[in-house]
A and B are shown apart, each in its own frame.
Chain A
Amino acid sequence: MKTQPLNDPLKNVFDAIDPAARITETDLANSRENSLAMMIRHTELHETFVKNPENSSQVKPIVRRTALWAAVAAAVTGALVATDAVSFLGHTPPTAEAAQFLNAAAHQTARVADRVIGPGQYLRVDTTAVITDEASSGNGTIYWLQSQDRQMYVPSDRSNDWIINFEPAVPVSYFGNTTEAIVLEVKERTPQGRNERGGVQRTEAPWSDTELAKFPREPKQLLNTIYSQTGGSGDDADTRAIVWISDRLRSGVLASDLRAALYKTAAMIPGMTVVDRQANLDGRVGTALGRVDKNTNIRHDILIDPANGEFIGERVVSIEGYGEIPPNTPTMWTAVETSVTNSAPTPES
């Protein structure tokens, strides 16, 4: 569904100043050729060197036009990583209560042994994800919440295929005055994409074990790593850091030491507060900690079970609302639960 309304008059205004309007077919052809060069070079090498090793003396070294600036960029990125990015100057520090809770949760979760997945077994990650969707027409924009359950099956040997089952996405509630005709139309248009329609697929690990192992467990270093990866500055950088942490916690596949490090790192992010000690997410009650992004007035929360430090889920709350969405509405939330199972569904071919 298009977020951008079909009759949006701003589109014409932006089209009028679009620098890409001056692109010629020759420009595109040159760029296509240049951007295929790496593959062509590789194929030539494969043909002459891999398939006919006797020709190896004829192979010229690969020269990348972009190598120099890429090296410079890498050096600059490295310098940024080395810089101490953690500072509360100009920002509200996390509240003592939030920091205390997160550090305590880190100790709890670190003590919980990782689930043992035996040969032939799978780690099952159940997720309920609710998002706000919208559609526009000449009559305006309508907003609704759409829910989708999914189950991911992670094999004991993580290098084997991962399996994911998507349940069909369903609209669950609507914002504002919604007519029966609109509800019917939304239902007819949902689900749309392959994933929204549901089904069992093969998937891949979002991060390799090597990549996860590389993240520092020392919270200050980890926060610096996150800032350097996500970019942005000021308030925006802190919001991106929360999103980064939520993305990984939501996956349900992290070892306890990394989960603990992420909690401790969240405790260092400026503006983190305990927003609700009895937050209910999909029937599970936990403590919600979050921070409000001053640019958007949106709060990103993570929810943790105070009894055992387990990650329950996350939610995004629009403080001032927009369109038909009233203030203080969770516009997106995800609940996560993990277990061990002896089987996984068979992917569709």
Chain B
Amino acid sequence: MSLEELFKDHREVLRQKRFLAAHAAGHDRIYRYFRRRTYSPATAEELCAEVFRIAWEKTLDRDDLSVMFLFGMAKNVLRNHHRATTRSTDLITALRSEHQSHETSGHSPLLEALEHLPIDDQEILHLTYWDGLSSKEISGVLGTSATAVRMRLHRARKTLGNLLGSNHLVEGAEA
């Protein structure tokens, strides 16, 4: 084997290591991200695979694939998925309601209250409480400032408290 081939092999091994490290750190969180936002396990699996397909390509020219970088890609993949599926009909609305009826058992006042919030505010709440991201991390994923995220979170909590008629739910958060 020539020296050039040896170097190529070495780069390949490093690339695989980078990818496997990113996969180990981020896969489960990214899969959960999609399960929370799509209607079926198959779709979540498909979209998750797409994120790691892109991540694999990125390992060619990136040394570091952080979990937040994966979340950023997941957001774009989900957006493209929604664009594709809403192209002919308003399928997403149908899927969402189907998703909710499948995934939640019975009546949920929180789900009803969430419906009254702007989509972006719902997403910030989901990223905070479901995906466990901080305001700084969310700002990176959504491409906005951390201040805007905190402001929206503050308002969304307040609105939720009012809608649920349980101010104690947000008092602890805003004290």
Contacts and interface: CB of A to CB of B under 8 A. Distances in A.
Interface of A: 1-5, 7-11, 13-20, 22-23, 27-28, 30-32, 34-39, 42-43, 46, 50-51, 64-66, 69-70, 72-74, 76-77, 80, 131-132, 134, 136, 139-141, 204, 230-232, 236, 239-240, 243-244, 293, 295-298, 300, 316, 318, 322-323, 331-332
A13 B130 contact: no
B151 A296 contact: yes
B144 A4 contact: no
B24 to A, nearest CB: 9
B145 interface: yes
Contacts of A35: 23, 27, 31, 45, 48-49, 51-53
By Cβ-Cβ distance, the 4 closest A-B pairs, closest first, are: A73-B80, A14-B129, A35-B52, A140-B175
B52 A8 contact: no
Of listed A9, A19, A37, A132, residue having the most chain B CB within 10 A: A19
B40 to A, nearest CB: 11
Interface residues of B, number: 71
A177 B37 CA distance: 41
Nearest to B1: A51
Contact of A19 (B84, B104, B110, B170): B104
B16 A43 contact: yes
A28 B125 contact: no
Contacts of A141: 174-175
Interface string B92-135: 00000001000110001011000000101000011011101011
A74 B10 CA distance: 34
A300 B139 CA distance: 14
Contacts of A322: 150-151, 154
B50 A66 contact: yes
B175 A66 contact: no
Contacts of A240: 143-144
Contact of B31 (A28, A42, A139): A28
